Amino acid sequence: MTDQETLELEAATYRRLRDHLRTRTDVQNIDLMILGGFCRNCLSDWYKEAATGKGIAMDKAQAREIVYGMPFDEWKGKYQREATPEQKAAFAENNPKS
C-alpha cells in the first residue's frame, strides 16, 4: 500500500467514526471516556492539534463543530445529559489522573 492510500484509508476511517458518533447522540461523552478513554472533545482537540501542526489556524469551537456537526453548545443543549452518580464513579475509577 502506498503512503497516499494509507492516508486516504485513515481519513475515510476517521470520517466514518465521526459520522457514527454524530448519529449516536445517545452515547454520552462520559460513556466514551469510561469505556474508551476518549470522547468527542478529545477527537476535536486532536483535530485542532493536527491543524495547528500543519499551520492551519483553528480554534476549539471550530474543531468541535467539525466533530459534532453543529456548534458544541447546540449539541450540548439537545443531547447532553447530566452524568449519573454511577457514571461519575466509573469515570473516576477508570481515569484516576483526571
According to the model, what pLDDT value does residue 54 have? 97
| pLDDT band at 98; cut points 50, 70, 90 | low
Q: What is the CATH number of the domain that holds 37?
A: 1.10.3340.10
**Domain of 61, in residue numbers:** 3-94
Domain count, the chain: 1
pLDDT digits (tens, 9 = 90+) for 12-65: 999 999 999 999 999 999 999 999 999 999 999 999 999 999 999 999 999 999
Candidates 24, 28, 37, 40; CA nearest to 81 is 28
Model pTM? 0.89
